[in-house]
Amino acid sequence: MKGMLLLPTQADEIDKKLERNENVGPLAGVLVGVKDNICAKDMACTAGSKILENYRPAYDASVVRKLRECGAIIVGKTNLDEFGMGSTTEGSAYQVTANPWDLECVPGGSSGGSAAAVSARQCVVSLGSDTGGSVRQPASFCGVVGLKPTYGRVSRYGLVAYASSLDVIGCFGTTVVDAGILLQAISGHDKLDATSSKRDVNDFTSQFISKDYFESQPLKGLRVGVISETIGDGVDKEVVSSIRGAISHLEELGSTVTEVIILSLCILN
């Protein structure tokens, strides 16, 4: 499948801490893949390009530092389209990553390696970056959860930039809960990123484990727009079925769902 580019060993350090009865953090032993445009100390950071083939940063990106502090194991760097400029992960200068569900198909991109690695259970969760869909699209292709956080919620310090006003470091997991736990770990203000938000970080994980929370219709009063063209003529029936299922779930949670029209899509149709 070729989702990983580098596989270090870090579990021994956690074992030694446990032997010394030291705090190992809430993510102790959790295997995390990191997209290879996010810096991790003394690990290659190529951004999928031969230009950076020998670059090994002397520092951790803020998100990587936070994960290490939580006890996570950075199991490897994941493949991507060169400098994040692609949507199939065929554009890497090193290898082509396949979709775990069908090795003849692409995993999407540019964070295709991160999505494929989680889908194939090479790691529990992974980090990607999203400029125009590079987390969300490969997550869809590989059948995993992909989350693009609100801009400024997660520090971009240590990310090889593509378009700084749009770049966001995002999360992959096999479930919404896993993605939420990862988001909780990496969120928060960072003085090393001038665009980092100072707003308080919500306790995302408490919302996942409370049955009462979902039964209380937490989205009551919220209006959600659904693009008409995504459920109209010419769209695959399975896609329409999935979207309508999501609409029903949002309505069960109390939201009001309204169809909206995007004129540019009308022209394409």
The reported pTM is 0.86
8 Å CB contact between 34 and 126: yes
Q: Are residues 142 and 238 in the same domain?
A: no
Containing domain of residue 12, as a range? 4-209
Q: Are residues 193 and 166 in the same domain?
A: yes
Q: Are residues 144 and 109 in the same domain?
A: yes
Q: Are residues 117 and 165 in the same domain?
A: yes
The rounded distance, in Å, linking the Cα atoms of 141 and 116 is 9
- Sign of the CA dihedral running 167, 173, 176, 178: negative
Q: Which residues contact 51 (CB under 8 A, 6 or more apart)?
A: none
User: Which active-site residues does the annotation give?
Assistant: 35, 110, 134
Tokens found for residue 72? 């996570």
Query: Per residue in 77-131, pLDDT tens?
Result: 999 999 999 999 999 999 999 999 999 999 999 999 999 999 999 999 999 999 9
CATH code, domain carrying 9: 3.90.1300.10
3-class SS at 68? helix
pLDDT range class, residue 9, cuts 50, 70, 90: low
Number of domains in the chain: 2
pLDDT range class, residue 192, cuts 50, 70, 90: very high
Strands 73-78 and 31-35, by their bridges, are: parallel
Tell me the helices (H) and strands (E) count for the chain, helix number first.
9, 8
